[in-house]
A and B are shown apart, each in its own frame.
Chain A
Amino acid sequence: DGGITQSPKYLFRKEGQNVTLSCEQNLNHDAMYWYRQDPGQGLRLIYYSQIVNDFQKGDIAEGYSVSREKKESFPLTVTSAQKNPTAFYLCASSRQGDSYEQYFGPGTRLTVT
């Protein structure tokens, strides 16, 4: 079945450590996105990539980094510079030119203590 996988489901890290969240899709979608979800707030866009080897900052990119070396994969690194990293992170993908119809992964809940 085609879809988006994110791993792990739950992740725990100590403050000051970088951590990388995985996102893989087999939908053959060109565009991929990373969102952050906090209680009482709508999803906020961190980074997005419309094509391999290219990506753009979203609304809250500070303290995060991404890479897009393969069409299927769009890993997100939460760096120690991110002041409030504890959140639920969602990855999504869409066909080129169809950014409104996004397919979402199951999410990763990151807790930093």
Chain B
Amino acid sequence: KNEVEQSPQNLTAQEGEFITINCSYSVGISALHWLQQHPGGGIVSLFMLSSGKKKHGRLIATINIQEKHSSLHITASHPRDSAVYICAAGSYNTDKLIFGTGTRLQVFP
């Protein structure tokens, strides 16, 4: 079993739909990172959080430390949101990031 699990692996949506991507982890963490990878391959950081909730534009990230679970929500999804979304847990034991396998999102007009 992977230490960081994401679901779903693939997700398709119509423009305007509300999207939720889930991340569960089994390691003790100091922080959890949500990353976005576009088809060209480059990765950008969306959020880093260790508790509660963060919001940036149409993106919202939440984390429940007790349940070891985080979610990334996209409101009013748009085709330009199509990308792979990656969850990465910052392990406080190893001081390294442990990556999930990613969720491939396609939003159709």
Give residues in A with beta carbon < 8 Å to B.
40-45, 48, 58, 88, 90, 99-107, 109
B45–A101 touching, CB < 8 Å: yes
- The residues of A that contact B40 with a CB separation of less than 8 Å are 106
Give residues in B with beta carbon < 8 Å to A.
2, 4, 30-31, 33, 35, 40-45, 48, 86, 88, 90, 95-102
- The residues of A that contact B33 with a CB separation of less than 8 Å are 100-102
- The residues of A that contact B30 with a CB separation of less than 8 Å are 100
- The residues of A that contact B44 with a CB separation of less than 8 Å are 104
B41–A42 touching, CB < 8 Å: no
- The residues of A that contact B2 with a CB separation of less than 8 Å are 42
Q: Main SS of the interface on chain B?
A: strand
CB distance from B33 to the nearest CB of A (A): 6
Beyond A43-B86, A90-B43, A104-B43, 13 additional contacts (C-beta under 8 Å) are A41-B101, A42-B100, A42-B101, A88-B41, A90-B41, A99-B95, A99-B97, A100-B30, A100-B48, A102-B33, A104-B45, A106-B40, A106-B41
A43–B99 touching, CB < 8 Å: yes
